[in-house]
A and B are shown apart, each in its own frame.
Chain A
Amino acid sequence: MSRAGFLSVAAAAALIASPSAFAMFEGGAVPERFGGLAVSVFAAIIALTMFVTYLAAKRVKTTQQFYAAGRSVSGLQNGWAIAGDYLSAASFLGIAGLISLYGYDGFMYSVGWLVAYITVLLVIAEPCRNIGKYTLGDILAFRNDYKTAKVLAALSTITVSTIYLTAQMVGGGVLVKTLIGIDYEVSVIVVGVLMLAYVVFGGMVATTWVQIIKAVLLVIASIVLVLLTWAPYGFSLPDFLGAVVGDPKTQAQVAKLLGDAASNMTPQELGQRFLEPGLYLKDPVDQLSLGMALVFGTAGLPHILMRFFTVPNAHQARVSVIWAMGIIGGFYVLTLIIGNGAALNVGAATIASFDKGGNLAAPLLAQFIGGGADSALGNFFLAFVAAVAFATIVAVVAGLVLASASAMSHDIWVGVIKGEHATPAQEVRAARVSALVVGALAIVVGILAKGQNVAHLVGLAFAVAASSNLPCILLTLYWKRCNTGGVVLGMTVGTLAAVALVLVSPNMTYPKLETTAAQRIIDGAPARLEQLQLEASQATDTVAKLKAESALKDLQASVKTAQNTVQKFEGQTTSLVGLEQPLTKLKNPGIYSIPLGFLCVVIGSLLWRRERRSEEMWEELYVRQNTGIAAEQAAQH
């Protein structure tokens, strides 16, 4: 790709993110007069990644460079890149937010995201490195029918990546808007253009380095935050948590979450309750279901799988998972301090007032630690954390787009349409065009999905990967009798089951239920209003009077919200798929769809005619995945 072309895109991206965009800074967590500071931090990080992409673009000439960075990434580098690919905004900001609002349950939620890598380490990373080339399709096509396996794997890669990508684009757009006030559409386009520059010009080489840079920044930001938050308590865990449970803000948050159940509890008991399970995750079956999706789904995510083709051999693939586990796990342990520190210093009520999901917990803590909303240092910290969050979204999206583009060009165009007859130059060009197509689609999807609730989409991506990709990979690798029939049935039923179960779950919006609940609030309001007015007028001391008045204000606000809800859903009675109420209580489909996916691969394989190729290739696959004989070699330098 020409240098001029690269420079013009880089210039366009720089222009969009340049200080001339000051005017857009309003209504974010960064005060307007510190907007320039925020933009400078953003610009510095973007400039760094652009420079790396420029260096990478000069090296990317072959397909192996474009898809797999020449297989010359070291285990240590790949470990950081995996962490950069995996720690999306959902885990960086989301988990700190959950801990700041719900205490223990938020921390418990983070555990599954690390344990997931045990599956990757033990049964996926090394065999896939040993027999794979560039994509999921290469693994499934090893012994199953070539064209069928390639098409299915490509479709599945695009499906899983698009679901994950939508969550990132929408979540990222909203986040950048809340943090620094840039318009939603502008931030989606900036993310899209930057990510396209990395992927199209620098392929896997640039994507890897962007992910490494982002992971390093993320870890530095977290360590600084933890040191400054924890130091006043002499780095003692009991002293620090003692301050959290003794804080009136924590106690008020627990009282609010527990409702009536809190009336007989002392303030100390309320505070301690913050460190006990049950404030957020209420249904144990749903938790098991989510846990299964994480533990088995991570190993089936195409963009994570693809990272193992970038190292020289199976030993380095193993080393990279060890590093990734150290970084990811260490990061979640730091999140425990960040989340609780935000609850202690900022307070759950303030955090929730910026964002209901708590996503602003870490940025607001950074602002507090630096000296508060009026200090330059505080806003520098906030801007830095915001810029890291932005880099996070760009890096994760780049990985997803690269995975989808590789599936389109390598599996479908070269593998199926051209029958493996394409020159390396043609294939690299096809991969770049595919990346442009997928990237443009990502921007369009991001803008179209504005205002949608996408929180459950990340969970869905993991569930689909766990129910379709993982059973097919695992049984292709470890079960001799597995064949094309199993892969076809498992992929289709696994994907459809996971998606269908989410479509009929409480994750969707049910207008009738929403309207009924809102109507109940509106109907009950006059009686409650009268009672509160009476309380306010009869109150003898100022405290009771203030309390009644604030309750009155809350009531008026909730009635207003309820009226808006009724208006919004006027004329609608059913959800997207025509249901008045959810068919299942489970928000996470994994507990049904994962066993079903495995079962379908087995049944499909047994019902299919005996396949010569899948049985003939078994010995070769089995020996190769265990020994690494004839594995793809790294590029010679």
Chain B
Amino acid sequence: MSSDRSFVLAPAKKNMSTTIDWVAIEADPRFQELHRRKSRFLWSLMAFSVVYYFLLPVGAAYWPGLFRQQVWGPVNVGLLFALSEFIVAWLVAFVYSRHASRHFDAMAAELNRVATTGAGK
């Protein structure tokens, strides 16, 4: 790992808005790793959530018989499915938040530290 490299350029290069070498960070394996893991995790959660949400109106329109099935007194499948939408949305938010706080924040903080102090580990 090229962990002893510094991303700080001094003095500022013309046309750059700061003195940080963004191209170097983007090429850094630690950034690549963060980006790869984050994208995969985030877009799969997003796709799952959208599909699960649209199952509700689609199910109500095309499988009314299933939605009508009573399972708990007057409570039917449709009602439970709608309630499950809330649980699933909360779960997705919780899973993402926990994963991001545990893994992505630390990886970003490491890159941030190297970039701003210029001191690689």
What is the size, in residues, of chain B's interface with A at 8 Å between Cβ atoms?
56
A291 interfacial contact with B, CB 8 Å: yes
In the assembled complex, how far is the CB of residue B1 from the closest CB belonging to chain A, in whole angstroms? 17
* B 53-83 to A, binary, CB cutoff 8 A, 1 in contact else 0: 1101110111010011010111110110011
List A contacts of B18 (CB < 8 A).
620, 630
- Whether A122 and B54, one on each chain, are in contact in the complex, defined by CB atoms closer than 8 angstroms, is no
Bound-complex Cα distance A295 to B57 (A): 13
In the assembled complex, how far is the CB of residue B26 from the closest CB belonging to chain A, in whole angstroms? 5
Bound-complex Cα distance A620 to B24 (A): 10
- Whether A325 and B93, one on each chain, are in contact in the complex, defined by CB atoms closer than 8 angstroms, is yes
Bound-complex Cα distance A318 to B105 (A): 11
Q: Given contacts A275-B74, A629-B112, is CB(A295)–CB(B50) below 8 Å?
A: yes
A347 interfacial contact with B, CB 8 Å: no
A284 interfacial contact with B, CB 8 Å: yes
A interface, by DSSP: helix, strand, loop or mixed?
helix
List A contacts of B15 (CB < 8 A).
616
Bound-complex Cα distance A13 to B58 (A): 49
List A contacts of B119 (CB < 8 A).
none
Closest to A624 in B: B22
Give the residue of B23, B70, B93 whose beta carbon is less than 8 angstroms from that of A118. B93
List B contacts of A372 (CB < 8 A).
none
List B contacts of A114 (CB < 8 A).
85-86, 89
Q: Given contacts A245-B74, A272-B74, is CB(A629)–CB(B46) below 8 Å?
A: no
- Whether B78 and A276, one on each chain, are in contact in the complex, defined by CB atoms closer than 8 angstroms, is yes
Q: Given contacts A111-B86, A627-B31, is CB(A277)–CB(B78) below 8 Å?
A: yes
A453 interfacial contact with B, CB 8 Å: no
- Whether B57 and A287, one on each chain, are in contact in the complex, defined by CB atoms closer than 8 angstroms, is yes
Which of A52-60, A235-243, A458-466 sits within the interface?
A235-243
Bound-complex Cα distance A115 to B93 (A): 10
- Whether A123 and B112, one on each chain, are in contact in the complex, defined by CB atoms closer than 8 angstroms, is no
- Whether A629 and B116, one on each chain, are in contact in the complex, defined by CB atoms closer than 8 angstroms, is yes
In the assembled complex, how far is the CB of residue A230 from the closest CB belonging to chain B, in whole angstroms? 14
- Whether B22 and A623, one on each chain, are in contact in the complex, defined by CB atoms closer than 8 angstroms, is yes
Give the residue of A107, A239, A627 whose beta carbon is less than 8 angstroms from that of B112. A627
In the assembled complex, how far is the CB of residue A287 from the closest CB belonging to chain B, in whole angstroms? 4
B42 interfacial contact with A, CB 8 Å: yes
Q: Given contacts A276-B68, A619-B26, A629-B25, is CB(A333)–CB(B83) below 8 Å?
A: yes
A319 interfacial contact with B, CB 8 Å: yes
Q: Given contacts A118-B49, A284-B62, is CB(A619)–CB(B23) below 8 Å?
A: yes
Please provide the chain B residues from 29 to 62 with a CB less than 8 Å away from any CB of chain A in the complex: 31, 34-35, 38, 42, 45-46, 49-50, 53-54, 56-58, 60-62
11 contacts between A and B (CB under 8 A): A111-B56, A123-B46, A275-B79, A277-B60, A325-B89, A333-B86, A620-B18, A626-B34, A626-B38, A626-B108, A629-B111
Can you add 9 more A-B contacts, CB < 8 Å, to A287-B60, A620-B16, A626-B34?
A: A104-B78, A111-B86, A122-B49, A238-B75, A278-B64, A281-B60, A288-B54, A295-B50, A620-B18
